[in-house]
Structure 1
Amino acid sequence: MLYIGVSSFTPNSAGFVYNNAGALSLYVTDDMIPPSSPIRLNTGTFGVFIPEIAKRFPGMMMKLLVKTVKEPTISLEPNNVTVQASGTVTAYAIQPNTTLSPLFVLNMEGSVSAQMNVTGVKLAGAITLNKIEMTLGTSYVGQFQVQSLDNIFLMVLKVVVIPKVNARLEKGFPLPTIGKMNLINTQLQVLKDYMLIGTDVQFTG
């Protein structure tokens, strides 16, 4: 049996690279929200909670930019992978000429749990949301209670952002291999500060 150790330095380094490359950002538009949802990304929905939006930008669609402001921190504890992330959510109204008018910027601190697995010769995974805290960074539409928007942003995270992240994680990241080999009967253990992968090896030529 072959054993492969993956320290917490490896995923944290990957997070650093992806963040610096701008890969940890996502535009969210209304067509990404399930049609059955009563919550829409438009100034009508947000205007209920922030009247100035409906007053100054009536009948317009909106766009959200969700991005990290620094690399995520990944912690490995026995049977537990936790990711702490700091980011911002910038809301825009889409003008008839497609110009984006900024409405507000929220600061976001979040925590997710990750389930890791090995598929083929790749390390893959999926995340679930633990908690999220948001505060007002900048507003162009007056002061408002951020908590009034909690349900909207929880929905956006759960039905758009997290599925997008999981789709990328499902593709996996290559593990070190020698020549043409497959990993079979693979078991993964999450330990303090590292993951241990035990596997049988099958060479394919």
Structure 2
Amino acid sequence: MAQACRLGLLLALLLPVVGASRPGTVVRLNKAVLSYVSEAGKVPLQRALQVTVPHFLDRSGEVLWPTRVQILNVQVPRLHLKFIDGFGVRMLAAANFTFKVFRASEPLELILPAVLLADARVAQGSIGTPVVSVSSCFTLFNKAIVLSGRHSVGPALLVLVQQHIKAVLRNKLCLSVSNLVQGLNVHLGTLIGLKPVGPESQIRYFMINAPNITKDHISLDINAVLFLLGKPIVLPVNATPFMLPEHVGTSGAMATVGLSQDLFDSALLLLQKAGALNLDITGQLKSHDNPLNTSVLGHVIPEVARQFPEPMPVVLKVRLGGTPVATLHTNNATLRLQPLVEVLASASNSAFHSLFSLNVVMNLNLQLSVSKVKLQGITSVLGEVQLTVASSNVGLIDTDQVHALMGNVFENPLLDHLNALLGMGIALPNVVNLHYVTPEVFVHEGYVVISSGLFYQN
């Protein structure tokens, strides 16, 4: 059963493991994946086909004599897979079975060539996962090749031995294929499992309609739901579903994954609601990390110098009130942050006194990449950071002077914090042990495409 499951897991590569609507993801598994599965699936299929054969009743003597029959070896020199338009996947496997018949007089060894044909339908399951079912399966046998023991076996008995073996294999080989499918469906169920995004957030994928199957690919639409503290993140209703155009990505890739604007909006809304982008930048006197103190600020804001004649540490509280906005244009992805930065000074009684607060607008260049099953990002500042005074308890403030003085003090830590979060990544649709390999990421107007190979890690 374990051997059958291993091939079943490999056959999962044939199925659209992902897709999209709100937030949208579409995955197409192209014909290139069939060659990988065909080659990788030969050994597991050989093991799965090594079934048990019941004893043969030898009628050559006066008394029926049960004779043990054993499959010594199974070789699958050819495994071919193809998509069936509007249906699923067809499998053709050529196999050579080596048998040993343990006769008392002389063991008989023979090779029986066979061709196994099976059609598997791919549909949408009730729990939002792909479901595979074998609709037809049969085996064709060629004439057996006797390796040894021919001279001690009469032609009639040899015919009976072959008939016995063929009758057993016709039932058992198709049963093995059905067992593979059952194991495959269990494996595909891992698609809908919750995958962590952060300490208190998760993402879950599930199919929203039946797969689209052509002679060139299988494509599924899958919904992505992000959760914060067990509650789903809900975007405003958008009646326009995400449709992945034809002929995008790299020609010949195993998988083409389309990620809509909605998925990015939902992920950024999750970060904002979780407060993940908020941070405190604590100041210390004579600190190289944060050179700000009331004495330094007092040089450009006289009221600070008046209120704090002695140097005191300054603390910056960065809070993200609005949701970050990702913009996807052809070959260009950007991110817009609008944090509020509150500047506080530590008083002599260890209390904090609010000096002023700034509205900040940061436009960032966003670079996307894929590692195993995660979409990751890294940002850098694009253009000038804009500052405006939101409130002040220290009179008039020259924002140009303040920005020159303290810009890097909050910009660099905020950027490092954001990149650390984006570097953790968000799980793409996947099943257990299946990874994206050598991925390429392309940014289009309103969506992102990932062209990738696939690798099953046993």
TM-score, normalisation: structure 2: 0.42
AA at the equivalent of 2:291: R
Q: Structure 2 matches for 1:111-190, cutoff 5 A?
A: 111-130=363-382, 131-190=384-443
Tell which has more relative contact order, 1 or 2 (C-alpha 8 A, sep 6+).
1
Preserved CA contact (<8 Å) 1:29 1:41: no
Secondary structure of 2:323's aligned partner: coil
SS in 1 for 2:354: strand
- Counterparts of 1:177 and 1:92, CA distance in 2: 46
> Which residue does the alignment assign to 2:306?
55
Q: Tell me the distance in 1 between the aligned counterparts of 2:368 and 2:405.
A: 29
Aligned to 2:361: 109
Deviation at 1:128, TM superposition (A): 0.7
The CA deviation at 1:41 is 2.0
The answer to whether residue 338 in structure 2 is matched with residue 86 in structure 1 is yes
Counterpart of 1:10 in structure 2 is 263
| In structure 1, C-alpha distance between the alignment counterparts of 2:262 and 2:318, rounded to whole Å | 25
Q: Conserved in 1, the CA contact under 8 Å of 2:438 and 2:453?
A: yes
Q: Is the 8 A contact 2:316 2:410 kept in 1?
A: no
The answer to whether residue 271 in structure 2 is matched with residue 46 in structure 1 is: no
Residue pairs, 1:15-26, within 5 angstroms: 15-26=268-279
Q: Does residue 201 of the first structure (1) align with residue 454 of the second (2)?
A: yes
CA contact (8 A) 2:300 2:401 kept: yes
The answer to whether the 8 A contact 2:277-2:417 is kept is no
1:76 aligns with 2:328: yes
2:350 corresponds to which residue? 98
Aligned-pair CA distance for 1:158: 4.1
1:78 Cα deviation from its structure 2 partner: 1.0
Give the SS at the match of 1:49.
Answer: coil
How many Å separate the matches in 2 of 1:45 and 1:92?
14
Do the aligned residues in 2 keep the contact of 1:4 with 1:196 (CA within 8 Å)? yes
More strand by share: 1
In structure 1, what residue type is equivalent to 2:365? S
2:82 equivalent in structure 1: none
Q: Which runs of 4+ in 1 moved over 4 A?
A: none
Aligned AA for 2:344? Y
The RMSD of aligned alpha carbons is 1.8
Whole-Å separation in 2 of the counterparts to 1:49 and 1:148: 7
Render the CA deviation track for 1:94-134: whole Å, top value 9, x for unaligned. 12333111000111122111111111211111111113111
CA distance in 2, matches of 1:62, 1:95: 10
CA shift, 1:53, in A, is: 0.9
Provide the C-alpha distance between the structure 2 equivalents of 1:167 and 1:12, rounded to a whole number of angstroms: 19
Distance 1:169 1:27 in 2: 19
Tell me the equivalent position of 2:248.
Answer: none
Instruction: Say which of 27, 34, 37 aligns to 2:280.
Output: 27
Shift of 1:25: 1.1
Q: Distance in 1 between matches of 2:287 and 2:352?
A: 23
Runs (5+) with no aligned partner, structure 1: none
Higher-Rg member (1/2): 2
Q: Pick the aligned partner of 1:66 from 300, 309, 318.
A: 318
Question: In 1, distance between residues paired with 2:434 and 2:348?
Answer: 55
d(CA) in 2 for partners of 1:34 and 1:78? 43
Tell me how far apart the structure 1 counterparts of residues 410 and 367 of structure 2 sit (CA, whole Å).
Answer: 18
- In structure 1, distance between residues paired with 2:335 and 2:441: 18
Supply the distance in 2 between the matched residues of 1:176 and 1:153 (Cα, whole angstroms).
Answer: 42
Tell me how far 1:198 sits from its aligned partner.
1.0
Amino acid at match of 1:147: D
Residue type matched to 2:350 in 1?
T
Cα separation, 2, equivalents of 1:17 and 1:159: 23
Q: Which runs of 5+ in 2 are unaligned?
A: 1-253
Does the 8 Å CA contact 2:338/2:360 hold for their aligned counterparts? yes
Task: Give the residue type in structure 2 aligned to 1:7.
Answer: S
Q: Give the residue type in structure 2 aligned to 1:3.
A: T
- TM-score by length of structure 1 reads 0.91
Provide the rounded CA distance (Å) in 2 between the counterparts of 1:156 and 1:120.
35
